[in-house]
Copies of this chain bind each other. A is one copy, B any other.
Amino acid sequence: MLSESLVKEFKSIVGDDNVFNAEADRQSYSYDSAVLEPVVPALVVRPTNSEELGKVIALCNENNNPITVRGAGTNLSGGTIPDKRDGIVILTNGMNKILEINEEDLYAVVQPGVVTAKFAAEVAKRGLFYPPDPGSQAVSTIGGNVAENAGGLRGLKYGVTKDYVMGLDFFDVNGELVKTGSRTVKCVTGYNLAGLMAASEGTLGVFNEIILKLTPPPAASKAMMAVFDDVNKASAAVAGIIASHVVPCTLEFIDQACMRYIEDYTKAGLPVEAAAILLIEVDGHPAQVEDEAATVVKVLEKIGASRIQVAKDAAEKLKLWEARRNALPSLARARPTTVLEDATVPRSQIPAMVAAINNIAKKHNVQIGTFGHAGDGNLHPTIMCDKRDTKEFHRVEEAVDEIFDTALSLKGTLSGEHGIGMAKSKWMEKETSRATIDYSLNMKKAIDPKNILNPGKIIAGR
C-alpha cells in the first residue's frame, strides 16, 4: 500500500484525474495477454507529457516503487504484469501524439502511446509505408512494439519493429533523458542504445519519443492461398519458395486443426478437409509481382499443392487475410486457456518443426493448433487447455518444454516475437549461456541499481 502522501505527490505531478487508486481500476491493470497470475498494482498513473513522465519516474525511484509501463497490454509473455512490491503502472495512453511525419526525409517522431494501426494509417494517408504489423496492431502501441520488438506478418521481407527504430530518447531510472540514434538514416554517435532498447521490455528505461523509419509503399501486390493434403508438402513449399529467391512480404501457415476453429468462428469458407494451407503475398513493382507470383505458383505446383487460389481482387485478398488474423481469437474460443508459443527455427527446419509439434501433441495428449509466420520460421503452436485442470496443465507444460527443446535442437530460438517476459525467463540459459545471463544482469544492475524498472522480466531474479 502506498502512503496517502505519496499518492498526493503523484497527483500533484499528473493531476487528480490521472491517478487511479480504486481497487477496480487497479485490478484492470493486473494482467496482460499471457497465461500468468495477475498482480494488482499499488497505483496506476497516467502522465500526459514528457515533463510529467520524467517526474513520475524519479518519484517512483526515490520511493522504491517498481515501474511497469503499459501500452495496450497485448504482449504475450507477461511483460506488463506489475511487480508485487507496491508496483506502479505507468499508462502511455496520455502520450499518444504523432509529433512529426517527415515526408521528405522518410521518418516520423511519435510518443510511445500512439496506436500502431492508427500510426500506419496516418503514414499511408501521406503516401508512405510503416511496414511492421503485429497481430495486435489495432490496439497495440508503438512504445509496446519497440519494448517487445514486435514482429508481425510482414517480417519476412520487411523486418521487425527494431528495423524501423532510427532513434529514441528515454528516461533513465532517475528521470533524466537519454538520447540515442538520430533523424538521419546513418548514425554511429555513441552506443547503439536504440538497438538495446528494442526488446528490453521496459527494464532499461522508459521511452519518451521514438523516431521511426518510413519507406515508399510497394506499388502492387498479389495474394494467394495454397491448399495441401499433406502437412509436409506445405512446409516443404515454404523452404522451396525462399530457395527460389522470392521473398514474399507474407508467407503464413495454418494447419487443419487451426483452420477448423477459424472456420467455426468466421465461416470464411476455408478448405477444412485439407491438411494445411499457406497464405502467400508478394509485393513490389507490378512486373516484379507478376514474375514472383508466377515463380511461387510454379514451386507450389512442383511440390504438389492440391489447389492454388489467387485472390482476384482486393476484397478476396482481404478475406484471405481476415481468416489468418482470426486464427488466434478462433483458437481462444475453444477452451478456457490458450497457450500461444512462438518458438522459431531457421526456415528450412519448418518441416521438422511441424512434424515435431504434431508428435509432441500426441505424446503429451494435448490439443495443439499451429499457425504462424512460416516464412520467418516463426510458428505459433497454440495449446488449447484449461489451466484449472492441473493434470492437463502439467501435460501442457511438458509439451511446451519439449517444443522449446526441439526448436533449440534445430538451431532455433525460444521466442521469435513475443518476448521472454516472465513466461520464458527460466529457459533463457538453455539457449544462451550462464555468461550471457550474468552479462545482462550486470548491465541491468548498473543501469537500474534498485531494480525499479519492470523487475522480474527477461532475466528475473537470477
Contacts and interface: CB of A to CB of B under 8 A. Distances in A.
Interface of A: 102-107, 127, 148-149, 151, 155-156, 160, 162-163, 172, 174, 176-180, 182-193, 195-196, 198-200, 204-205, 215-216, 239, 242-243, 245-247, 284-288, 291, 344-348, 373, 376-378, 411-420, 424, 428, 431-436, 438-440, 442-443, 445-447, 458-459
B439 A178 contact: yes
A287 B219 CA distance: 13
11 contacts: A104-B242, A151-B188, A163-B163, A182-B411, A184-B376, A184-B378, A184-B412, A186-B413, A189-B414, A190-B458, A442-B446
Nearest to A204: B191
A447 B443 contact: yes
B344 A179 contact: no
A443 B440 contact: no
A309 B246 CA distance: 32
A439 B285 contact: no
A174 B433 CA distance: 14
A415 B189 contact: yes
A186 to B, nearest CB: 4
A351 to B, nearest CB: 11
Nearest to A173: B439
B185 A156 contact: yes
B378 A239 contact: no
Nearest to A459: B190
Given A195-B196, A216-B245, A245-B216, A105 B347 contact: yes
B195 A443 contact: no
A346 B148 CA distance: 28
For A186, A287, A418, the residue with the greatest tally of chain B CB atoms inside 10 Å of its CB is A186
A107 B346 contact: yes
The 6 closest A-B pairs by CB, nearest first: A195-B195, A446-B446, A287-B287, A176-B435, A285-B288, A186-B416
A386 to B, nearest CB: 28
Nearest to A216: B245
Contacts of A180: 432, 436
Interface centre among A162, A215, A286, A446 (most CB of B within 10 A): A446
Contacts of A105: 242, 346-348, 377
Contact of A435 (B177, B239, B376, B418): B177
Contacts of A104: 239, 242-243, 346-348
A100 to B, nearest CB: 10
Contacts of A459: 190-191
A216 B247 contact: yes
Nearest to A179: B432
With most chain B CB atoms within 10 A of its CB, the pick from A183, A239, A247, A424 is: A183
Contacts of A416: 184, 186-188
A176 B103 CA distance: 46
Contacts of A447: 439, 442-443, 446
Contacts of A246: 216
Contacts of A163: 163
B431 A162 contact: no
Nearest to A244: B216
Contacts of A184: 344-346, 376-378, 411-413, 416
Given A102-B346, A439-B172, A192 B183 contact: no
